[in-house]
């Protein structure tokens, strides 16, 4: 055969071969065959891990009113399924058996771990969630005071699903915004601690038990990968402050010998931890930097006066210091857990000294002096110059 | 004489080499270097680039002594017929190993990250077939496709880096040199193995039509490769910190971490696209080298009839060299790096030294007088 004929033959044959490949591919999955998981919950009860998945129901939302089933939502948007097993992988295996479609975890943006499960240690969950190929490392992690499955089963009247409301809350900065990756990093760091926002279920506001929202209350503290304690307000504010996670917070400030209070909303708070080693003595400098605006003033003070503003700022800074000290006391004396990652800071700044005295760290940590300084500025006093709503005092 | 009459420009050659080294490096290097070098892993590619400098020097040196000849031809002049052929044989035995490993790591990556149910042989076979067609069309086509794909690849990689900027924590750079210089030098072994792949120059330089500016262009290419590796390492370090070494493909995790304004997310497929573009050029370049090496070693006038059989052989090697996925990651261990560097760096360097000694002995080189062009 001439080369040209061969080339012609090949040219005709190749497209034919390609059609063989076009018949479909192995990894095609119709969206109808997928159960899209929006949130994952992990509980622990009776020596078993319980894995809960909140699954999106692809239906025209709103078109179907309450179906009456206990797990169906009023708007028919999500459902939850729970399975248990001696390990989380076994639970996953059993969970799939309860769902008719193949479960897809790539859109799971929220992981809720109950404090009860946290007591058993986070290691198993972290390993699983980072190893399993579909999970996203950017998923936000929360704890729940009660069962995680209760939080996931909620039907938020405002959002598409409770997963969405949790995610929005994390984005707003209510509580600590911790992703899976960050959690793994902070557990693996020299400090071995982590903080997670704690979620509770609000009381239902209609007769349907599950139609309500989750809400953030307190911070769960983890030491060496195990849950140790919950910090509630006001200590939790200090914990968030020192972890650089404080956002969206309005703080009441009271001045000495002045009646009434001022409330200040902080815009963005930055806490800088500066480790120092001087003459073999380890200490930590905490510097709080923030700006804020006055949103409520029930005192007689007219804040236009700069001298007064300085006074208010001092009082505000003192309030910050108290909060930080409380939080430090909790971490150092009560829990002896390095929640604010001091060890990490020392290791980065003084690698040599850190290596020498790593063994003594718990003792050093407990006794090291911590100096709290701050730089707080009130930038705005709102639209009012003078206190409002005061009954006018008549001149004679 | 060369078994392919095509010619490329020096910058085309430089562009071909970028993905030939970086395609696999951006995925594996961060994790491999972190394992040894800890927080100083971003320094390791810089140390490793010394190996690149050496191999570029050797390739260019061989070219100036024996212009227009690939390392397979010049070895005959330097070592004599039998030892020269033996050396060619070493390359002939080594290249399918290397290509098999590249194809296998492509298959493993795609099957673990994108197409878990597709049989490995389909994933690897389709890619090898496309590359084989590319190679059969000649060096000019390989050069052109490289140009097109490198442009895309650069754009996509920069996009990923750009989107990641918000998530970075530069303080991960500290502690700098926690255990001194040694860890970062140890970590340099892996990048060094990648840099030793600059030896492809010794095979491809004869196809470059103009002799102008070859040295600066190759050095620029080396700088770009080094910078790309350092940047990749820094981004992984800043994002993943100590966890970098615990992931097989840290860049994949990094891309998956991107979430901007709640809708720009799930863009890890870009990394897969980058990898496919890059690996296509990489396999093509090495397959081409394999084909011309075989053709020259056997004394054939054209390499084209060899391309498909050799590609098929490389496919077989992908199964012979390793049996499962953990084994495939083992192939990127220290002994594999030593093996690669031994053949791709030590052997050409030794050849060059012998050539220098012989030329000194014989006074001015007499081989230079026989330009073998046809």
Query: What is the H or E stretch that residue A292 is in?
Result: strand A281-297
Q: Identify the residue whose tokens are 């080094």.
A: B226
Q: Is residue B289 part of a domain?
A: yes
Closest partner residue to B241 among A26, A106, A185, by Cβ? A185
3-class DSSP state for residue A5? helix
- Angstroms from B137 CA to nearest CA on chain A: 13
Q: Which domain holds residue B297?
A: 11-361
Phi, psi of B358 (to 5 degrees): -65, -40
Quick check: A138 and B259 CB within 8 A? yes
Residues of A in contact with B252 (CB under 8 A): none
Burial track A280-313 (b if 16+ CB lie within 10 A, e otherwise): eebebebebebbbebeebbbebebeeeeebeebb
User: CA-to-CA distance for B216 and B8, rounded, in angstroms?
Assistant: 17
Q: Which domains does chain A have, with CATH numbers?
A: 32-232 (no CATH), 233-386 (3.30.300.210)
Tokens of B225: 């490769």
In DSSP terms, which residues pair with A220 in a beta bridge?
A196, A230
Closest partner residue to B175 among A26, A188, A351, by Cβ? A351
Query: What is the H or E stretch that residue B358 is in?
Result: helix B347-361
pLDDT, tens digit only, all 396 positions of chain A:
567 888 888 888 877 777 666 555 666 777 778 888 888 888 888 888 888 888 888 765 444 444 444 444 445 578 888 888 888 888 888 888 888 888 888 888 888 888 888 888 888 888 888 888 778 888 888 888 888 888 888 777 777 788 888 888 887 777 788 888 888 888 888 888 888 888 888 777 666 667 777 888 888 888 888 888 888 877 888 888 888 888 778 888 887 777 778 888 888 888 888 888 888 788 888 888 888 888 888 777 777 778 888 888 888 888 888 888 888 888 887 877 888 888 888 888 888 888 888 888 888 888 888 888 888 888 877 777 777 777 766 555
Closest partner residue to A348 among B114, B122, B175, by Cβ? B175
| Long-range contacts, stretch A268-274, CB < 8 angstroms, 24+ apart | A269/A241, A269/A244, A270/A244, A271/A241, A271/A242, A271/A243, A271/A244, A271/A246, A273/A242, A273/A340, A273/A341, A273/A342, A273/A345, A274/A345
- Angstroms from A364 CA to nearest CA on chain B: 20
Spell out the residues 6+ positions from residue A211 whose beta carbon is closer than 8 angstroms to its own: A74, A154, A155, A157, A204, A205
Inter-residue contact A263 to A294 (CB < 8 Å): yes
Q: Is residue B4 part of a domain?
A: no
ipTM of the prediction: 0.76
Residues of A in contact with B126 (CB under 8 A): 21
Q: Is residue B3 part of a domain?
A: no
Tokens of A359: 């063994």
Q: In what order do the strands lie in the sheet with A370-380?
A: A250-253, A262-278, A281-297, A370-380
Closest partner residue to A133 among B113, B126, B242, by Cβ? B113
Selected residue with higher pLDDT from B278 and A388: B278
Cα separations in angstroms, A179 against A82, A111, A197, B258? 23, 9, 11, 12
- Angstroms from B254 CA to nearest CA on chain A: 9
User: Residue B29's CB: how many other CB atoms inside 10 A?
Assistant: 29
Query: Burial level of B273, CB count in 10 A (0-12/13-18/19+)?
Result: middle
3-class DSSP state for residue A295? strand
3-class DSSP state for residue B285? helix
- Angstroms from B117 CA to nearest CA on chain A: 6
- Angstroms from B140 CA to nearest CA on chain A: 20
The count of domains in chain B is: 1
- Angstroms from B352 CA to nearest CA on chain A: 42
- pTM listed for this prediction: 0.81
- Written as one string, the DSSP assignment of A170-207 is HHHTSS---BHHHHHHHHHSTT-EEEEEEEEEPPPSSS
Please write the tens of the pLDDT for every residue from B47-94: 888 888 998 888 888 888 888 888 888 888 888 888 888 888 888 888
Q: Is residue B171 part of a domain?
A: yes
Question: A-side interface with B, Cβ within 8 Å?
Answer: 21, 25-27, 106, 130, 133, 136-138, 171, 179, 181, 184-185, 188-189, 347-349, 351, 354-355
Quick check: A138 and B174 CB within 8 A? no
Q: Which of B108, B163, B256 to mutate to test the interface with A (most CBs of A within 10 A)?
A: B256
Inter-residue contact B157 to B292 (CB < 8 Å): no
Closest CA to A299 of A247, A257, A362: A257
Tokens of A115: 């404090």
- pLDDT score, position A26: 66
Quick check: A188 and B243 CB within 8 A? yes
Quick check: A351 and B253 CB within 8 A? no
User: CA-to-CA distance for A60 and B278, rounded, in angstroms?
Assistant: 43
Question: Quick one: angle between helices B269-298 and B250-257, nearest 10?
Answer: 150
Closest partner residue to B178 among A106, A181, A351, by Cβ? A351
- Angstroms from A237 CA to nearest CA on chain B: 24
- pLDDT score, position B223: 92
User: CA-to-CA distance for B177 and A166, rounded, in angstroms?
Assistant: 41
Q: What is the CATH number of the domain that holds B208?
A: 1.20.1740.10
User: CA-to-CA distance for B308 and B292, rounded, in angstroms?
Assistant: 13
Inter-residue contact B275 to B107 (CB < 8 Å): no
Residue in A closest to B116 by C-alpha: A27
Quick check: A181 and B240 CB within 8 A? yes
Residue in B closest to A108 by C-alpha: B266
Quick check: A189 and B242 CB within 8 A? yes
Quick check: A137 and B256 CB within 8 A? yes
Q: Which of A123, A185, A275, A343 to mutate to test the interface with B (most CBs of B within 10 A)?
A: A185
Closest partner residue to B242 among A133, A171, A185, by Cβ? A185
Inter-residue contact B287 to B131 (CB < 8 Å): yes
- Angstroms from B158 CA to nearest CA on chain A: 21
User: CA-to-CA distance for A196 and A222, rounded, in angstroms?
Assistant: 8
Residues of B in contact with A182 (CB under 8 A): none
Q: Is residue B183 part of a domain?
A: yes
Q: Is residue B369 part of a domain?
A: no
Within chain B, strands assigned E span 259-260, 264-265
Q: How many CB pairs under 8 A join A and B?
A: 57
- Residue B3, pLDDT > 80, answer no
Q: Is residue B308 part of a domain?
A: yes
What percentage of chain B exceeds 90 in pLDDT? 4
Inter-residue contact B341 to B51 (CB < 8 Å): yes
User: CA-to-CA distance for B240 and B233, rounded, in angstroms?
Assistant: 10
Quick check: B256 and A347 CB within 8 A? no
- Residue B371, pLDDT > 50, answer no
User: CA-to-CA distance for A197 and A195, rounded, in angstroms?
Assistant: 7
Please write the tens of the pLDDT for every residue from B336-364: 788 888 888 888 888 888 888 887 776 54
Query: What is the H or E stretch that residue A82 is in?
Result: strand A78-85
- pLDDT score, position B370: 45
Q: Which of B166, B170, B174 to mutate to test the interface with A (most CBs of A within 10 A)?
A: B174
Q: Which of A26, A33, A36, A171 to mutate to test the interface with B (most CBs of B within 10 A)?
A: A26
User: CA-to-CA distance for B307 and A1, rounded, in angstroms?
Assistant: 21
Q: Is residue B366 part of a domain?
A: no
- Restricting to B residues 149-208, those with a Cβ less than 8 Å away from any Cβ of A are 171, 174-175, 177-178
Closest partner residue to A349 among B113, B116, B174, by Cβ? B174
């Amino acid at each position: 055969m001439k080369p040209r004929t061969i080339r012609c033959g090949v040219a005709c044959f190749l497209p034919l071969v390609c059609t063989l490949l076009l018949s479909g591919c192995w990894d095609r999955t119709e969206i109808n065959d997928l159960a899209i998981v929006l949130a994952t919950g992990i509980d622990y009860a009776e020596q078993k891990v319980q894995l809960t998945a909140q699954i999106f129901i692809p239906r025209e939302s709103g078109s179907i009113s309450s179906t009456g089933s206990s797990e169906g939502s009023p708007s028919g948007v999500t459902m939850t399924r729970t399975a248990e097993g001696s390990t989380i992988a076994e639970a996953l295996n059993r969970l799939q058996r309860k769902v008719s479609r193949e479960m897809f975890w790539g859109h799971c943006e929220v992981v809720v771990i109950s404090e009860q499960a946290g007591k058993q240690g986070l290691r198993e969950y972290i390993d699983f969630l980072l190893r399993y190929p579909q999970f996203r490392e950017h998923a936000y992690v929360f704890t729940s005071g009660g069962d995680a499955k209760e939080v996931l089963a909620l039907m938020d009247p405002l959002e598409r699903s409770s997963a969405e409301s949790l995610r929005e809350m994390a984005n707003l900065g209510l509580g600590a915004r911790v992703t899976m990756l960050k959690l793994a990093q902070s557990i693996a760091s020299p400090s071995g601690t982590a903080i997670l926002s704690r979620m509770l279920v609000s009381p239902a506001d209609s007769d349907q038990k599950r139609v309500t929202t989750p809400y953030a209350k307190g911070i769960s503290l983890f030491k060496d990968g195990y849950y140790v304690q919950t910090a509630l307000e006001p200590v939790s504010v200090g914990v968030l402050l020192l972890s650089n996670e404080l956002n969206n917070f309005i703080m009441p400030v009271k001045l000495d010998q002045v009646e009434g209070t001022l409330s200040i909303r902080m815009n963005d708070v930055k806490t800088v931890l500066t480790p120092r080693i001087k003459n073999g003595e380890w200490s930590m400098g905490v510097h709080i930097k923030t700006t804020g605006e006055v949103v409520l003033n029930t005192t007689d003070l007219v804040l236009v006066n700069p001298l007064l503003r300085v006074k208010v700022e001092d009082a505000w800074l003192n309030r910050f210091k108290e909060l930080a000290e409380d939080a430090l006391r909790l971490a150092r004396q009560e829990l002896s857990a390095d929640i604010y990652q001091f060890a990490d800071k020392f290791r980065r700044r003084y690698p040599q000294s850190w290596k020498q005295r790593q063994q003594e760290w718990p003792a050093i940590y407990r006794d090291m002096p911590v100096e709290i300084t701050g730089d707080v500025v009130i930038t705005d006093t709102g639209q009012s110059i003078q206190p409002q709503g005061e009954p006018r005092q008549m001149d004679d | 004489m060369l078994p392919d009459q095509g010619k490329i420009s020096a910058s085309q050659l430089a562009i071909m080499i970028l993905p030939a080294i970086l395609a696999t490096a951006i995925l594996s290097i961060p994790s491999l270097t972190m394992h040894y070098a800890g927080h100083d892993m971003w320094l390791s590619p810089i140390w490793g680039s010394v190996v690149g400098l050496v191999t570029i020097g050797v390739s260019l040196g061989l070219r100036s002594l024996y212009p227009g000849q690939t390392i397979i031809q010049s070895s005959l002049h330097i070592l004599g017929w039998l030892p020269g052929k033996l050396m060619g044989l070493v390359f002939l035995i080594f290249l399918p190993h290397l290509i098999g490993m590249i194809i296998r790591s492509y298959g493993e990556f795609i099957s673990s990250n994108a197409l878990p149910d597709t049989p490995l042989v389909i994933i690897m076979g389709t890619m090898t077939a496309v590359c084989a067609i590319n190679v059969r069309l000649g060096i000019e086509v390989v050069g052109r496709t490289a140009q097109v794909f490198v442009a895309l690849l650069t754009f996509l990689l920069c996009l990923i880096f750009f989107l990641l900027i918000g998530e970075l924590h530069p303080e991960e750079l500290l502690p700098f040199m926690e255990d001194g210089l040694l860890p970062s030098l140890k970590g340099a072994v892996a990048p060094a193995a990648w840099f030793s792949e600059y030896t492809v120059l010794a095979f491809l330089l004869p196809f470059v039509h103009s002799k102008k500016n070859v040295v600066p262009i190759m050095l620029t290419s080396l700088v770009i490769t080094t910078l790309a590796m350092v940047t990749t390492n820094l981004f992984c370090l800043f994002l993943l910190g100590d966890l970098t070494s615990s992931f097989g493909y840290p860049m994949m995790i990094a891309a998956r971490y991107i979430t901007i304004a709640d809708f720009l997310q799930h863009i890890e497929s870009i990394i897969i696209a980058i990898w496919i573009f890059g690996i296509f050029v990489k396999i093509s370049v090495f397959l081409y080298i394999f084909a011309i090496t075989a053709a020259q070693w056997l004394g054939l006038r054209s390499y084209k009839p060899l391309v498909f059989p050799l590609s098929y052989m490389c496919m077989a090697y992908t199964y012979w060299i390793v049996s499962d996925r953990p084994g495939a990651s083992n192939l990127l261990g220290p002994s594999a790096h030593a093996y690669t560097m031994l053949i791709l760096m030590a052997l050409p360097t030794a050849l060059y030294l012998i050539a220098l000694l012989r030329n000194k002995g014989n006074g001015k080189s007499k081989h230079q007088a026989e330009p073998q062009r046809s």
